[in-house]
Structure 1
């Protein structure tokens, strides 16, 4: 069902209202990402951000917590909490670096690899995969437009940008 909200112009015709059309598109994007993340959790028992971590560890074994934090663009405390859940469930293994015992490296366990093999795709989540498909100009335009939107919101908590979808953990 694809319809655009129409707003009556002063002439009485049904011209599309750009602000309401944009609002609808934002709702669709947010709800699609939330629905995907909740579906992931229902299907495999880990949330979307945890599944993304597993994908990163599959592609680059031995990452450290800070590196995962940077790849997911979330807060380090959030990364640590997500990882602890994965370690408890036996999907991720922590090891100490042989040259520097202070450094903890992370890797998938066999159980983590098996979970990732059967988990819903895309493992990184709907939004990161969709954003990666945009060309540079479209991504820059989207980023500028979103920044303009954020600039117009009073009392904005930019910390929300460091929380994975679907806004609750």
Structure 2
């Protein structure tokens, strides 16, 4: 795959030389998949950044992500939340201190460990998530409205495949 001057993509045939036809097909498929992966990564990354920038949320990305994780998997101990967010325990401790100070999470005693606490989402935290999701959905809806009906239909048709990309390998 290669980019034309107008920004569209097209297939560039590979020279085969003495390579077997099956190897050429595999190489072309791999090249096409790599080009598709790069293009998809770029589009998704830029769209995500645009939504974050336009969203102008008052809550930093890691705090927002921690709230979502607590909502989805809570109650959680600090160590488990840090693991799920791929940050150190001290970093997560600072994040939780800020979220707690804002009243977005509640620390409750861990029923299995008298010394430990579990983190749950507060009503205020749930409301913040509703507001952020609503605002971000409206931002995407405005961008979708700029597309014609056929472009929107193609996105609808692609959603099942895109959603399948979210499934982790086991």
Inter-CA distance 135–64: structure 2 relative to 1 (3 Å threshold): closer
Q: Of 56, 60, 64, which residue of structure 2 is paired with 1:51?
A: 64
Deviations 1:9-67 (A, max 9, x none): 99xxxxxx967776554433332232333444x14x21333223222322343211122
Q: Of 102, 123, 133, which residue of structure 1 is paired with 2:164?
A: 133
The alpha carbon displacement at 1:85 in A equals: 2.0
Matched residue count: 128
> 1:35 aligned to 2:50?
yes
Q: Of 73, 79, 82, which residue of structure 1 is paired with 2:86?
A: 73
Q: CA RMSD in A?
A: 4.1
Q: Indicate the structure (1 or 2) with the bigger Cα radius of gyration.
A: 2
Inter-CA distance 74–37: structure 2 relative to 1 (3 Å threshold): farther
Counterpart residue number, 2:130: 117
Counterpart residue number, 2:27: none
Bigger fraction of residues in helix: 2
Inter-CA distance 35–66: structure 2 relative to 1 (3 Å threshold): farther
| Unaligned runs of at least 5 residues, structure 2 | 1-5, 16-30, 138-160
Residue pair 1:90, 1:111 contacting (<8 A) in 2 also? yes
